Amino acid sequence: MFGPNITVSAGTHPIHPELRSKQAQYNVPVHIGNNVWIGAHAVLLPGVKIGENTVIGAGSVVTKDLPDNVIAVGNPCRVIREINEEDRRYYHKKMEIDIE
């Protein structure tokens, strides 16, 4: 699931000014696993890999790979915790899920 206004950037430029002036660009793929939720206005930088079932908070800037089954937020984006069994029961601040 992708929130609104996310950026997935695969293009990057060399750091050396002489190469940059020649308008060199490199493309480094971004890999997004299955069942990932990326919050609104998040930015994924070139070369990152997002693990399966991972949740990325709104406004996060992902600069490094994220493992499977975690919640990650911030700038730079950091893992705050793993997704666990309690997440099956609650969806927001102890508000119970009632889907049965």
CA triplet 66, 55, 43: central angle to 5 degrees? Answer: 70
| Identified catalytic residue from 13, 16, 31, 92 | 13
Query: Quick one: which of 46, 17, 49 has its CA closest to 36?
Result: 49
Q: Is 92 labeled as catalytic in the residue annotation?
A: no
73 SS3 class: strand
Q: Are 31 and 8 in contact (CB under 8 A)?
A: no
Q: Tell me which residues are annotated as active site.
A: 13
